[in-house]
Structure 1
Amino acid sequence: MFAIVAGLATLHEQARRMSSTLSALADSGAIVAREEIFFDDSREVLDHRSTFELNRVTRILGIDRVARRSTPEAAFGDLIERVNKICSKCRIAVALVSGFLAWCMAIFLHLGETTSFFSSLAPHHRDRQAIDAWTRAAYEAWWASVDHHWTHKLYLAYAFIAFYIILMFHLTGACVLYIIYGMRHLTQSSADWSNYDGCFGWRPVADVYRTVVFAVFLLSCAITVMLVMLGLRYFWFVAVAVALYVGVTPLFLIVPRIIWADVAETAKKSRIRELQKALTSRIDTRNCAILAEMDRCRSSDISPLRLTTVWMKTSFVTAVVIPVTLAVVQVVFPVVLAAD
């Protein structure tokens, strides 16, 4: 229940930060329009493919259609407008479908609890019949069991909200991955060289990424508790949530790092080219200042997804260790039980 409340607050905070992230990146100069590449020296016909580095993936995702109808200055804004229109048209249908799926997942969890809840805590030194009797008595005494009508209804409502949050987190994450992949092709990565925010203009992205890491951590805790209380042999009662966590959630932590892996190198090369144009052959105070600025650019630590050591360890555990452990246990444990 703590994870549910904290997850709802985190999802809200994540949405609030996302709403201002793109404009903040543009205002600080962390992202700029791509340099135009033309087919010939007349500079009349824009080479969209070379300008936006279009490929098979961008064609499949529909980014090509946006890029070929836009200029470098307007392309990314047109993509955002397109995504917003699609989300606006589908929001009611998505809410209804997600609500239905969340309710089904809550009902399946309820069925699993009536079957095996507290079984992992049962004193296993007893015989099978005694264990079943202990588990049944423990469930009947639980405040959210079917024998406690109103608190049971409250618990189902909490379960519904929890699964709805999980589905919304994944849908939001999918949209964000689409947008940042589009950003990779429709904008040019740069930096705020005044370093006003301490992250060369990329702090808004780092702030959002921290909410993603925390949300994944909460999800891992909630799913781990569910599996422990249900018993691993009954994990299929929450199979959808486990599948989303093991198969999809790690992408939200890993894919952004892949997409933005070359941000620092791109920003530094662009800045150094600009500075080199201002250099002259003479050695004077102005040239010394430019050379010093070039050295600062080369040594600058530009990291869009900057995390502290604690956050880095948390992201690794939630993205790699726990999903892999859950996957291995779910495969091995039933085999061991069958052998016994």
Structure 2
Amino acid sequence: MPPGSERSQRLLCVRRHLVSRGFGDGSALWQLLAQFVCGYRDIDLRDATGLGHGRLIACHARPSTRRRWVPRLLIGELAGIAITEPHGGSRVIETRTSAVLSADGYLLVSGRKCWISRLNEAAVFVVFFRDPDGRLAAAPVDAEDLGLRRTELPPSGLAGWSWGVLDLDGVRVHPDDILVGDGMLLLRNHFATYRPWVAATALGGAAAVFDSVTTILATRNIDRIRDNALITIGRTHAQLATALLGCAVAEHLASAGDCSAEIWGAATKAHGVDIAHQATVELALLAGAAGFRADSQIAKTRRDLAGLLFADGIHDSLYRSAGKHYTNASLIELAAPKELPDVETPGRISAAG
């Protein structure tokens, strides 16, 4: 595909075409597998199906707000999300974007959001801000609102959609448009579902590189392939497959509302993208010079995966959250068995299980 705005317009056309064929929205597990397939074709197709961040509107908006936005998303329009701010990065607790109450009862939202994807293509942004009482809230904002100002920045990867800074200056939000529920809880539950999708997209991209490289190697005399290359290929296949299975488990937990879904989503996103990135770097070496041409899909996938190391949660923070969870003394106490099962009494073993 061509670069820049022409590329993003073609991506939107692909999305609308797939939606018209019935690929607009499905179960969370279906979406996970669709993300893998899209990533296999091109990581820029990560928004080709499903509601994406628009799920926040579909699941948590009041009926009037859903009627306004969900039909548009179901015919292929895009939803962006505006969380990150310059001073606090992805630390939502430090959100400074805030709302004041106007004389006519609307909220006027002002602040700066950075590292926003789909900057020019989104029809609506789900914006997180502090309400007049200081609580974290979220609401959909029409991308055509005159109070929005965009500053586009060139990314080094994930360049299919525009990216940059979104400034809000007195953007009017009707109180009925605020999503129902605590803002932090909405965000955490959303990303418990969304992050495994990101990981699956990354793993799909790496799987395509795996197939390309093994095809190149298969055309050579098998006796010329070094043992360490064969070991890399075998290990990589196992890593990609097991990472995708982990994403499926995380998605199942999120769909079931399991209390561990958020941690699984964070850890599998970090692990899945790390595995995909590592695999692509190692496999590119096996492809030889062909893997380092700027116009090759292998090189593009490497750039995109490097971008996903930062998008939707920086991995050190995600791993740290998982580590903190699993070393929480109160959780360990709850999980510990109260007594050891009697191995000579099958009934007691069954009951313990």
Q: Same fold (TM over 0.5)?
A: no
Report the structure, 1 or 2, having the larger helix content.
1
Larger RCO (CA within 8 A; separation ≥ 6): 1
Query: TM-score when scaled to structure 1?
Result: 0.30
